[in-house]
Amino acid sequence: MKTKLKSLYQYRELLLNLTRKEVKVKYKNSVLGIVWSMINPLIMLLVFYIAFGLFFKVQGTGIEFFAIYLMSGILPWNFLANSLNLAVGTVVSNGNLVKKVYFPREVLPLANVGAAAFNFFLQSLVLFAFMLILRYHFSPWLLMFPLVMLLEALFIIGVALFLAALNVFYRDLQHLTEIVLMAWFWMTPIVYPITYITDKLPGWAQQIYFLNPMTHIIQLFHEIIYHPSVYGPTTSYLSTKGIIGTTAFSVGFVVLGYLFFTSREGRFAEFI
């Protein structure tokens, strides 16, 4: 793995150029270009603030500023979904390049994750600007945003490497990923507070629910951006032990994903 990482470092310029290409291709021939990355969350914020925020407030869920609560979960979720939807087929779609030119194959899915991370960062800036306009109470936990984003990025890279490698041998995986992500979204506390799970499900069901790594990651984003201890239901599961566990899982998963990908990349050309 050390040798592979050295090779990846030597091709860092290729990774950077491919990431730039992924960002530019998404907005190619559009008038506003990359500005769309910031317009999209702004429109979503306005819609949720006017409609869903008022609706949820009437229903008495206890979530104030529901638009901010929702966006603090949706933006990191979109980071995951966009990364995986792009990365899963990236080796197959670049088959001609894989067959003819040598370079670390992991650069391909990593470029997609990098492009999605760039969009996520821009969209987060729009969210923070919106919070300033509302004179929202910023928590000191917000200083942890880069660290939590890094934890999610590590987890995403691990999953992306697994999927990109497996999709070379099992092409149905590309279609299955979209379905799994749809179900995964509703199994993660994004549009509902975590108290819905802790108050209504029995203990054994809660243990199964908390096996979802995105539950912990999204809850960290809720804590540092929305901070429910001030504006909504308290998430008592957040603890030093939980944060350390999430960190260990993210780091472990990216290592396993990288080892899995590199152990199979020698057969990619044969199956493409």
- Tell me the residue range of the domain where 215 lies: 2-271
For residue 183, name the pLDDT band (cuts at 50, 70, 90). Answer: very high
For residue 58, name the pLDDT band (cuts at 50, 70, 90). Answer: very low
Q: Which residue has the higher pLDDT, 61 or 105?
A: 105
Residue 191: φ, ψ to 5°: -100, 0
Mean pLDDT over 185-196 rounds to 86
Residues 63 and 232: beta-carbon distance below 8 Å: yes
**What's the total number of domains in the chain?**
1
pLDDT score, position 4: 79
For residue 154, name the pLDDT band (cuts at 50, 70, 90). Answer: very high
pLDDT score, position 251: 92
> Does pLDDT of 126 surpass 70?
yes
Mean pLDDT over 118-144 rounds to 85
Buried b (16+ CB within 10 A) or exposed e, 7-33: ebeebeeebeebbeebbeebeeeeeee
- Could you report the per-residue pLDDT of 8-31, keeping only the tens digit for each? 888 889 889 989 888 877 666 665
pTM (2 d.p.): 0.87
> Does pLDDT of 135 surpass 70?
yes
Q: Which residue has the higher pLDDT, 19 or 63?
A: 19
> Does pLDDT of 70 surpass 90?
no
For residue 54, name the pLDDT band (cuts at 50, 70, 90). Answer: low
Instruction: Copy the structure tokens of residue 38.
Output: 């910031």
Distance CA 242, CA 219 (A): 11
Average pLDDT, the chain: 83
* Distances, alpha carbon 178 to alpha carbons 68, 86, 120, 209, 216, in Å: 26, 11, 19, 20, 22
> Does pLDDT of 272 surpass 90?
no
For residue 239, name the pLDDT band (cuts at 50, 70, 90). Answer: low
Residues 169 and 271: beta-carbon distance below 8 Å: yes
Q: Which residue has the higher pLDDT, 192 or 214?
A: 214
pLDDT score, position 146: 92
pLDDT score, position 232: 53
- For the chain, percent of residues with pLDDT exceeding 90: 32
Q: Which residue has the higher pLDDT, 175 or 235?
A: 175
pLDDT score, position 62: 59
Mean pLDDT over 111-131 rounds to 89
Q: Which residue shows structure tokens 């549009």?
A: 191
Q: In three state form, how does the secondary structure of the chain look?
A: CHHHHHHHHHCHHHHHHHHHHHHHHHCCCCCCHHHHHHHHHHHHHHHHHHHHHHHHHHHCCCCCCHHHHHHHHHHHHHHHHHHHHHHCCHHHHCHHHHHHCCCCCCHHHHHHHHHHHHHHHHHHHHHHHHHHHCCCCCCHHHHHHHHHHHHHHHHHHHHHHHHHHHHHHCCCHHHHHHHHHHHHHHCCCCCCCCHHHHHHCCHHHHHHHCCCHHHHHHHHHHHHHHCHHHHCCCCCCCCHHHHHHHHHHHHHHHHHHHHHHHHHHHHHHHHC
Residue 88: φ, ψ to 5°: -60, -35
Q: Which residue shows structure tokens 């070379």?
A: 168
